[in-house]
Amino acid sequence: MKRIVFRTLKITGISLACILLLLFLLPYFFPKSISDKIKSLANQHLKTELNFSEARLSFFNHFPALTLTLYDFSLKGSAPFEKDTLVASKEIALGIDISSLIAGKIYIDKIFLTKALINVQANEKGEANYNVYASSDSSAKNDNDTSGNASLKIEKIIIEKSHIIYYDRSFPMLINAKGFNYVGKGDLSKSIFDLVTHAEIDSVDFNYNNQSYFVSKKVRADLITKINTHSLSFVFEKNDLKINQLPVEFKGKFEFLKQGYRMNFKINSNATELKNIVTALPPEYLGWLEKTELKGTADIGVQLAGNYIAETNTKPDLSVTMGIRSGYISNEKAPSPVTNLFLNFETRLPGLNPDSLYVNIDSIFFNIDKDYFSSIIKVKGLKKPDIHAKINTEIDLEKWDRAFGFKTFDVKGKYSLHLNADGIFARGQNPKNIRPDTIISSIPSFKFNSSFTNGYFKYASVSKPVKNIRFDMNAECPL
């Protein structure tokens, strides 16, 4: 028995040693041919400048894959950004299918990016820097071409600890993602394939038209994307995201056009907890959340659909819906919480044109003890807004202030408001004056009753408050 055990261990040890030795030596059997073929493949299919300081072939950088690792890698962008870097990485590793070596060919089936900067840019005309690939039909070929036995057959992409910037000045939209970790699987060599991905981002900033919407948000995503390389289209079939604590379902389609994009994105978060929505808001609200108790459920829906073509100023339609049910808000210093919070909100922005803005708040309601606030507000357009409003409230403003935990000001007093308004608000030039003189040419018909007693108001930055505020106001403008 001892002899059998010893012999088995001896054979196993020798086998493992041979395997390890083979792993060390195999890269040296192809010392320069693999590097030359991959360089030739890159030169044939890339229209821009590619540089790296050193190349090494090894099994151990991304075990068990055989990889050619390019150190200090950089790739320039396409015109008009040919002087700027599109991709820079401390190292990029190209995984090689070992079975292809036996057949005398080289298939690159994996790509590993580590500590990379991916810098995607587009100018005001929509011209982008990522058009670096030259098709084989347009590539220059010669008798000394050594890339015939090297080809891309990507099945896996891994990105680790990287930084992605997407800045489209024609939109204008900026996405800044730091701590980007990504795993994508799919047969990228096919013209139509499914890409299954998992992504984790430590911090995402989203800025549109110089206005920040997401700042320093964590994102976790599991995605299934159908990609058609012939039509350059992406179909997002099943995508589950988590923005901080907010679960989001994302579906849609994105397609490249000659001078722009065609898109149809749908983002939904159904029956999630109200506090999860606040975690997706800008950081200044998160401190408020720590001292505030939130309950209730909420639904959010966002859709962006249509063509975006900068040359013709064509833009997609945006719509947003939000609902809140059984909402409850209480700050730690509040004597009474906000209860029975109810909201139906809808807004549409056709062609991303502000003057086509449509807002429908139907309706918003909440209680603070026996006090209440109730309103229905509809607005269409901005230059000449068509307004329909119905607002009724009887409320103690001190309870309202403390329940929401506002820090910039303090307000107290009993406030009453009853408003009905319906019509168009418009401004124009006074035809009786030679000089330009803007006048109000139309206002909605309205009936307005309001009162304020024992009023108090103080900014946090001002030492003394305004006290003893009181008024009774009644106004009416019939048709």
Residue 31 scores a pLDDT above 60: no
Q: Residue 240: pLDDT band by 50, 70, 90 thresholds?
A: confident
Whether the per-residue pLDDT at 354 is higher than 60: the answer is yes
Nearest to 154 by CA among 192, 107, 188, 194: 188
Query: Which residues in 162-184 are b (16+ Cβ under 10 Å) and which e?
Result: bbbebbbebbeebbbbeebebeb
Answer with the residue of higher pLDDT: 293 or 30. 293
Among 238, 266, 286, which residue terminates a domain? 238
**Among 52, 94, 37, which Cα is nearest to 69's?**
94
Stronger pLDDT, 189 or 200, i.e. the higher one: 200
Q: Are residues 315 and 168 in the same domain?
A: no
Q: Are residues 228 and 276 in the same domain?
A: no
Residue 6 lies in a domain: no
Does the structure show a pLDDT above 70 at 476?
yes
Position 140 scores a pLDDT of 45
**316: closest CA among 352, 272, 280?**
352
Which residues make Cβ contacts (< 8 Å) with residue 15, sequence separation at least 6?
none
In a domain, 328, yes or no: yes
Asked whether residue 435 falls in the same domain as residue 390, the answer is yes
Asked if the structure places residue 15 within a domain, the reply is no
* Lowest model confidence (mean pLDDT) among 79-93, 189-203, 283-297: 283-297
Tell me the one-letter amino acid at 337: P
For 386, the domain range is 244-479
* Residue 266, domain member (yes or no): yes
| Total tally of structural domains belonging to the chain | 2
Is there a single domain that holds both residue 300 and residue 160? no
Alpha helices by DSSP H, 380-470: 397-404
* pLDDT of 471 over the 90 cut: yes
Same structural domain for residues 209 and 269?
A: no
Same domain, 82 and 125: yes
Pair (259, 215) in one structural domain: no
**Predicted confidence (pLDDT) at residue 221 exceeds the cutoff of 70:** yes
What is residue 260's predicted lDDT score, i.e. its pLDDT? 80
Based on the fold, state whether residues 152 and 180 are members of the same structural domain. yes
Q: Round to the nearest angstrom and report the end-to-end CA distance of the chain.
A: 108
Shared domain for 266 and 229, answered yes or no, is no
Residue 399 · residue 411 · CB < 8 Å: no
Token pair for residue 47?
A: 């229209």
Look at residue 18 and tell me whether its pLDDT is greater than 80. Answer: no
130-167 confidence digits (pLDDT tens): 888 765 554 444 444 444 555 567 788 899 999 999 99
450 in a structural domain? yes
Residue that has been written with the tokens 């919070």 in this structure: 341
pTM for this structure? 0.69
- Which residues sit opposite 44 in a β-bridge? none
Q: In terms of domains, do 162 and 291 share one?
A: no
Dump pLDDT digits (tens) for 106-120: 677 888 888 999 999
Q: Is residue 46 part of a domain?
A: yes
Q: What is the mean pLDDT of the chain?
A: 82
Same domain for 398 and 470, yes or no, is yes
21, part of any domain: no
Q: Check whether residue 354 and residue 457 sit in a common domain.
A: yes
Cα 115 from Cα 281, distance rounded (Å): 28
